[in-house]
A = this chain, B = another copy of it.
Amino acid sequence: MVTFTLLYWEQMITASEPDRLCVVLVATRNPLNIGAAARAMSNFGFSCLRLVNPYDVAFREARSAVGASEILTQAQEYKSVADAVADCTLVVGTTAARDRELQHPLKLLEPASLDIREHLASGRVALLFGSEKRGLSNQDFSHCHWLMRIPTHEENVSMNLGQAVAVCLYELARRASAASTATDEQPKPAASVEVERITAVLLEALRASGYLQPRSGAPTEEKLRRLVRRLNLSAEDAEVWLGMLRQIVWKLNQQTEP
């Protein structure tokens, strides 16, 4: 017990926040789902996978699959939920249930993730997923502090296990990286002088092609200017359009002359 506690503290000190989240699959039947859960964990930067009573064949198949990840090969197997969550200070069960009589507080994924994230700053959290057919049992729930559900559509609340894991971990990872998210790089917009040049060349092309009268007046020109402005061209694209239009005008003029 002392050994366990020491080991536990050592892990806690060295473990980074994402490593403190344990995905616990209870009685999973399909090896593909175990593999899918591991893949989603790797996609979102989590590493601790635990299995409670998986069907032996399923676990073996998932582990031996080509390209089985380190997450999968290092996954730990437990005989009971109690064992699997023993070192966790917060235990959260997932459920699709709405009307089922729940004895636990039920939170939606989004606010729940915020709570889990806060908890990860200081402790280890277990996130439980039940079997494909039945989900978590009341017995499993009894180990949980509270439950959470993904806000699905009323007509089909039950998600595929691998997809449910992916969505939960996405939301948890999103919470962590919200602050560090890079802003999208916007292209440099074209200067007005460039937009004006494009308008002028376009006007010339439209006159040379007969689309506009040779002496079409200011209102036409303004309309055209607004049309070009609405394109919201980047500086780079403006240059390309200007080059294309100039070539077209050159060709139109060249052929008009005798």
Q: CA A241 – CA B245 in complex, angstroms? A: 13
**Would you list the 9 A-B pairs with minimal beta carbon distance, nearest first?**
A45-B153, A163-B166, A255-B255, A209-B251, A211-B247, A42-B156, A209-B248, A43-B152, A167-B170
CB–CB A184/B248 < 8 A = no
A235 interfacial contact with B, CB 8 Å: no
Beta-carbon contacts of A175-206 to B below 8 Å, as 1s and 0s? Answer: 00100011010010000000000000010011
Question: Which of A55-63, A73-81, A87-95, A226-234 makes up part of the contact surface?
Answer: A226-234
Residues from chain B with Cβ under 8 Å of A40 in the complex: 159-160, 163
A214 at the binding interface (Cβ < 8 Å) = no
Q: Which of A20-28, A103-111, A124-132, A133-141 contacts B (4 or more CB under 8 A)?
A: A103-111
Q: How many chain copies?
A: 2
On whether the beta carbons of B152 and A208 are closer than 8 Å, the reply is no
- Decide if A123 is an interface residue (CB 8 Å cutoff): no
Roughly how many angstroms separate A162 CA and B37 CA in the complex, as a whole number?
12
Q: Please name all residues of chain B whose beta carbon is closer than 8 Å to the beta carbon of A155 when the two chains form the complex.
A: 42, 45
Q: Which residues of B contact A230 (CB under 8 A)?
A: 234, 237
Judge whether A250 is part of the interface by a CB distance below 8 angstroms. yes
For residue A50, which residues in chain B have a CB less than 8 angstroms away from its CB?
Answer: none
Chain B residue at minimum C-beta to C-beta distance from A35: B160
Offer 24 A-B interface pairs, CB within 8 angstroms, sorted by A. Answer: A36-B163, A39-B156, A43-B150, A43-B153, A43-B159, A45-B153, A151-B173, A151-B177, A159-B166, A167-B170, A170-B171, A202-B244, A205-B244, A205-B248, A206-B244, A209-B248, A211-B247, A227-B241, A230-B234, A231-B231, A231-B233, A251-B252, A252-B252, A255-B255
